[in-house]
Structure 1
Amino acid sequence: MNVATLLLVAILGLAAFGAFQLTKIVRQELATRKALRLQEERDEREFWEYEAKHKSIRLKFDPANEWNEATSVPEAFLREVRDLNLHYKPMLQRRNGWTESDFRDTST
């Protein structure tokens, strides 16, 4: 074998290795994107479930929808909403960007 043939074999070998690595990276990226998309879809369904439960709690305590910023809110309502938020905490953090401070109990 001459030098040109060895060089060609080395280049082709490196190209094949590079193509294999690139394929591997692309597959991993596609799998990651698919997992993220599926999680976003689950979070969206879970969010609307959360919203319906939140609305029902609000209707239970304020059926006439009269509360506003100046209204004193019952502790039982706050407790139920806090429990609901804690139940949906992972989704609220992923989907809405809530942080740990959003879940702190400020009633004490």
Structure 2
Amino acid sequence: MTDTFDFMSAGAQEKIAHLEARLSAALDPQAVHIEDDSAAHAGHAGAASGSHYTVTIVSERFAGKARVARHRLVYDALADEMRRGVHALAIRAFTPQEFAEQFE
């Protein structure tokens, strides 16, 4: 899925909203939360503003899938963004049941 969104020129909140929209379209999550961790990586290669993120996502699509397969689904949903400015993702992918058991 390619779009005309200019990721590199967008503001921090626009980038997060864009990433959330891409994940929502691809994985139909019950919840998705993205934090911009770029400031914590200042001086690190690829540490431009809006390049390092932590993604917490809750989706039924993760049911029966190993951690690596879940991460692959997230990376696939954000493939264009990974080529256009996202340098690193920390991914926390849960099924709704797993999320409820761990956090509620």
Name the one with the larger helix percent: 1
Say whether the fold is shared (TM-score over 0.5).
no
Name the one with the larger strand percent: 2
Larger radius of gyration: 1
Report 1 or 2 for greater relative contact order, CA contacts < 8 Å, sequence distance ≥ 6: 2
TM-score, normalisation: structure 2: 0.31
